[in-house]
Amino acid sequence: MKILGVTGGMGMGKTMVCSLLLKEGFPVFNADQIVHQLQAPKGKALPLLAEAFPGSVRHNILDRHYLRGLIAQNSNNLKKIENIILPLVDQERKQFIHHSQKSGKRWCILDIPLLFEKKINLSCTKILVVNAPKAIQKKRIIQRGRIPWEQAEILISHQIQNKLKCHWADIIIQTGLNKAYTFLQVKRLAILMKKDQL
């Protein structure tokens, strides 16, 4: 089985690209989704975060705003959070790959923002980087309204620049023009994957 690693900075359009690949029939592992599950009530990471960051969990619910504030105050807190979360995400990823292989899939997709940073790219057959201009990235992050741009910038600064990721990529999908163009690029890619020409 071949593995397509998908990455790109916040607001680049990874979610859209991966949802299109899912519609094409490829199983997708979404690292961000797994992180949310781990941090949800009864999630495996919740008691560990509560212990490491007193006050971050109230009534069995993670206060993400509080955690982001701690990261803004001290960047070492991001590393502490990653040390709790990432080993749990790795376990889930390995199970996903095993299950996809067992199901006889030809390809599986790993949607992982820190693909290069955590050297997961080394276990992938091909790397796809989703890219968009910085102005569009900023606009998307602000429109989502999940976190302020200032906090997003702190998180982005801890990631490898998209320009460098594009240099290392086997495939680049541009999402800065329009949805139709993104759809066309993904469709072409899916055809190559299904024909085993990638």
Name the pLDDT band for 42 (thresholds 50, 70, 90): confident
Q: How far is CA 23 from CA 2, 17, 27, in A?
A: 18, 10, 9
> Span 105-115, mean pLDDT?
95
Exposure on the CB side of residue 34, measured as CA atoms within 13 A = 20
Q: Is the pLDDT of residue 25 over 80?
A: yes
Name the pLDDT band for 104 (thresholds 50, 70, 90): very high
Of 147, 146, 125, 139, the C-alpha closest to 175 is 139
Alpha helix segments (H runs only) across the chain: 14-23, 31-39, 46-52, 64-73, 76-102, 134-144, 149-157, 162-168, 179-194
Q: Which numeric CATH code is attached to 2-31+86-194?
A: 3.40.50.300
Alpha-carbon span 134 to 159, nearest angstrom: 14
Query: For residue 126, what are the β-bridge partners?
Result: 4
Exposure on the CB side of residue 86, measured as CA atoms within 13 A = 14
Q: What is the pTM of this model?
A: 0.85
Q: What is the pLDDT of residues 136-151, one digit of tens each?
A: 777 777 777 667 767 6
Three-state SS for 134-186 is HHHHHHHHHHHCCCCHHHHHHHHHCCCCHHHHHHHCCEEEECCCCHHHHHHHH
Report the pLDDT value the prediction gives residue 112, as an integer from 0 to 100.
Answer: 94
Report the pLDDT value the prediction gives residue 145, as an integer from 0 to 100.
Answer: 65
Strands 171-174 and 126-131: parallel
Higher pLDDT, 145 or 102: 102
Alpha-carbon span 77 to 79, nearest angstrom: 5
Exposure on the CB side of residue 57, measured as CA atoms within 13 A = 16
Of 118, 117, 140, the C-alpha closest to 12 is 140
The per-residue pLDDT of the chain, averaged, comes to 90
Report the pLDDT value the prediction gives residue 67, as an integer from 0 to 100.
Answer: 86
Report the pLDDT value the prediction gives residue 78, as an integer from 0 to 100.
Answer: 87
User: 48, 85 in Cβ contact below 8 A?
Assistant: no
Higher pLDDT, 144 or 26: 26
Q: Is the pLDDT of residue 163 over 80?
A: yes
User: How many percent of the chain have pLDDT more than 70?
Assistant: 96
Q: Is the pLDDT of residue 13 over 70?
A: yes
Q: Is the pLDDT of residue 65 over 90?
A: no
